[in-house]
A = this chain, B = another copy of it.
């Protein structure tokens, strides 16, 4: 339990194996620091950005951000080292099996990635005092941290227990030993980042705002809580272990301190969509299979046509990106639960057991909207499956990635529960908005749901090694 061993633990993030007592897992280069003192060997003040002795894995270092969280690899050259060598080599295996490709690439992870089991979603407001440079710095710091987190590593090399004893740890530590657990981190930019509600162009980005990135219109029945809606920036953290997703949002929030603050956040405990043909279709809190007809990663033609922003779509900086719409949809499940099975199935247009369309067949049978099924039932003219179907929407589909949520109960003893809807698309106006107008107008489901939160975000394209989130947005 000497200080040296504790630093070792922080550096290597071993999977929870126990039996580490007394085993010096770290590198020997931290020899010589005292157990109780200011720990001169790693720099008493990390804000001055010393190079940790004996650690040569990061060939270049930039000046640190003002929070001073990134004493180790950071900045362009440092980020390159993250992806290609240094601690990525040999240590990623302790992080639960994710590969470096999960963060750097043509598109951001967490979109066509097979949907993980758990979600922590967070929207942020950039501080009113932050400059364009502060914003860029934040995106750099988030990039550096995210590239580590998705590998199951602490947020910096010093991490939770490897830093100087008299300094707050860089990492909050609750995910030590949990590995990567399939973590993906997906970053988005809200309309207010480009021009705020007062019309101010805070960061010199107004002329780069995508035309399609606009606040969603009011839909019939919307009861949105403004405090739970919008945001300048967002992070979707998905993982198979909720503690890993929570740890990521918490530490990224912490890194943002003074530059951006949490506006609203949402935990989701069960995925309601499949994004791969290898996944079974899960159920929402109405008890129905959800997302049977979702876009799947394997449908690469559909993904290219309906999810990714194309070269001719513009703006250039967003090519390879996407648009994200979030909607928190509260379900009045007690009222739903009092409906007959027939009525529930009429509302959805599918049977509850198997998820087959009422026009017959099995779950993956295409609905036949003018046919009657073997039991004599057809699909109602206002059934959810009909109104949401591509044939009712000029062929438009969405890549959905929603999660069930329960936020406790209200004072009347009814569960505060529903669906946190997440959808990715190439064109939010032609896809989500057009579809939602139709649904808001006459979907039978409207009697049992209320939209209480809304968000729309531009999802920057994938991050190249050595670059930061949305870097092209800030370049000429």
Consensus secondary structure, chain A interface: loop
- The reply to whether the CB of A369 lies closer than 8 angstroms to some CB of chain B is no
Taken together as a complex, chains A and B put the C-alpha atoms of A334 and B251 apart, in Å, by 10
Stretch at the interface among A210-218, A404-412, A441-449, A455-463: A404-412
Contacting residues, chain B, for A164 (C-beta < 8 A): 341
Contacting residues, chain B, for A246 (C-beta < 8 A): 269-270, 285, 404, 406, 417
- The reply to whether the CB of A362 lies closer than 8 angstroms to some CB of chain B is yes
Considering only CB atoms, which chain B residue lies closest to A410 in the complex?
B262
A351 with B408: CB separation less than 8 A: no
B263 with A354: CB separation less than 8 A: no
* Interface set, chain A 354-373, CB cutoff 8 A to B: 354, 356, 358, 360-363, 373
A36 with B375: CB separation less than 8 A: yes
* Interface set, chain A 228-285, CB cutoff 8 A to B: 241-243, 246, 250, 253-254, 261-267, 269-270, 280, 282-285
- The reply to whether the CB of A377 lies closer than 8 angstroms to some CB of chain B is yes
The answer, among B5, B160, B404, B411, for a CB contact under 8 Å with A174, is: B404
* Interface set, chain A 280-309, CB cutoff 8 A to B: 280, 282-288
- For the complex of A and B, list the 5 residue pairs with the smallest distance between their C-beta atoms, beginning with the closest: A173-B287, A35-B375, A21-B362, A9-B353, A261-B413
The answer, among B287, B360, B377, B415, for a CB contact under 8 Å with A262, is: B415
B415 with A250: CB separation less than 8 A: yes
Contacting residues, chain B, for A262 (C-beta < 8 A): 409, 413-415
Q: A261-B413, A362-B1, A411-B227 are in contact. Are A118 and B354 (CB under 8 A)?
A: no
Taken together as a complex, chains A and B put the C-alpha atoms of A241 and B240 apart, in Å, by 11
Distance in Å: Cβ of A393 to nearest Cβ of chain B = 25
Please name 28 pairs of A and B residues whose Cβ atoms are closer than 8 Å in the assembled complex, sorted by A: A6-B352, A21-B363, A36-B376, A160-B287, A160-B353, A167-B341, A169-B344, A172-B287, A172-B337, A173-B283, A174-B284, A174-B286, A175-B283, A177-B283, A242-B242, A242-B270, A243-B282, A243-B283, A243-B404, A246-B285, A246-B406, A250-B333, A253-B413, A254-B337, A261-B413, A263-B413, A264-B408, A265-B409
- The reply to whether the CB of A3 lies closer than 8 angstroms to some CB of chain B is yes
Tell me the A residues contacting B by CB distance below 8 Å. Answer: 1-3, 5-6, 9-10, 16, 18, 20-22, 35-36, 118, 120, 125, 160-161, 163-169, 171-177, 227, 241-243, 246, 250, 253-254, 261-267, 269-270, 280, 282-288, 333-334, 337-342, 344, 351-354, 356, 358, 360-363, 373-377, 404, 406-409, 411-415, 417
Distance in Å: Cβ of A463 to nearest Cβ of chain B = 25
Contacting residues, chain B, for A242 (C-beta < 8 A): 118, 242, 269-270
Contacting residues, chain B, for A250 (C-beta < 8 A): 285, 333, 415, 417
A342 with B243: CB separation less than 8 A: no
Contacting residues, chain B, for A374 (C-beta < 8 A): 1-2, 35
The answer, among B20, B261, B339, B411, for a CB contact under 8 Å with A354, is: B20
Give how many copies assemble into the complex.
2
B118 with A283: CB separation less than 8 A: no
Contacting residues, chain B, for A269 (C-beta < 8 A): 118, 242-243, 246, 267, 269
Taken together as a complex, chains A and B put the C-alpha atoms of A363 and B9 apart, in Å, by 14
Distance in Å: Cβ of A291 to nearest Cβ of chain B = 14
Q: A338-B168, A411-B227, A413-B262 are in contact. Are A1 and B284 (CB under 8 A)?
A: no
Contacting residues, chain B, for A412 (C-beta < 8 A): 261
Distance in Å: Cβ of A241 to nearest Cβ of chain B = 8
Contacting residues, chain B, for A171 (C-beta < 8 A): 287
Considering only CB atoms, which chain B residue lies closest to A336 in the complex?
B172
Taken together as a complex, chains A and B put the C-alpha atoms of A120 and B22 apart, in Å, by 38
Taken together as a complex, chains A and B put the C-alpha atoms of A341 and B342 apart, in Å, by 60
The answer, among B165, B265, B362, B413, for a CB contact under 8 Å with A408, is: B265
